[in-house]
Amino acid sequence: MAVEHDQAICIRQWDFSETSQTVSLFARRFGGLRALAKGSRRERGSFSGGIDLLTAGEIGIIMKRDSDLATLTEWDVQETFTRLRDDLQANRAAWYVADVLGRMLPPLDPHPRLFDVTMELLRTLGHVEATESVMLRFQWILLEETGWQPDLQDPEPEARTLAFDPQEGVWTTDTGEPGSWRVRRGTLVTLQAAAAGALERQDAVSVQRANKLLAAHIRNVLGEEPSSMTWVFGRLPVGGASPRPRSSGRR
């Protein structure tokens, strides 16, 4: 069988034996996949001395029709994102990224746009003030690509506060109805900017609030709150049932 090549991020890894690993990867062309890397822990070979979590590289892979476990033949590490090892908050944010990618992406479903923004976020974490904005774009594109993005129609443009219905994934007027989340209108405006790829003019506080709202929405999609989410976003809006999926916005 032919060896195919792709760029990939390691989002999880397990020791398979003294010399081999099983890895979960997010690849640009193939999407999420699991693979066995035989001999990857040997000092000499085609795996750069092992495959570490939250590193990126070029892979050689053999896909198997009769198995969901591919064979990894090569791993040429290209980026190690060293800041993630030195900065606790950056490390926690990166864990969250790996966690939600592993939970939300179906196997072998390509998302190159999501891959690109994930790489940008891993490069940004711990380095620049724009991290919150890149995290917001990551969360929005993750939801959009998987069909869980909230509707961004503004129900009352003159209102200072709105309500977000976490089950329907829509914004409504703020009537105090139980189960809805009361949200500043600026949060919706910031999400609209994130969807349009135009966050440059949004203030940091609004971006932070929008990030927390999307994290809470992702929590409801998953049906649980991963510890990695709590580490990054702290206390989140509560209440609401699992949302209903929307059509994917994948390009």
pLDDT digits (tens, 9 = 90+) for 3-30: 999 999 999 988 777 777 899 999 999 9
Instruction: Count other C-beta atoms under 10 Å from residue 127's C-beta.
Output: 12
Sign of CA dihedral 205, 209, 210, 214: positive
Residue 117 and residue 114: Cα distance in Å, rounded? 5
What is the pTM (predicted TM-score) of this model? 0.92
Helix then strand count (H, E) for the chain reads: 7, 8
Residue 235 and residue 245: Cα distance in Å, rounded? 24
Q: Which residues pair with 211 in a beta bridge?
A: none
Q: Which residues contact 109 (CB under 8 A, 6 or more apart)?
A: 31, 32
pLDDT in tens, 62-116: 998 878 899 999 999 999 999 999 999 999 999 999 999 999 999 999 999 999 9
Please name each of the domains of the chain with its CATH number. Answer: 4-80 (2.40.50.140), 85-233 (1.20.1440.120)
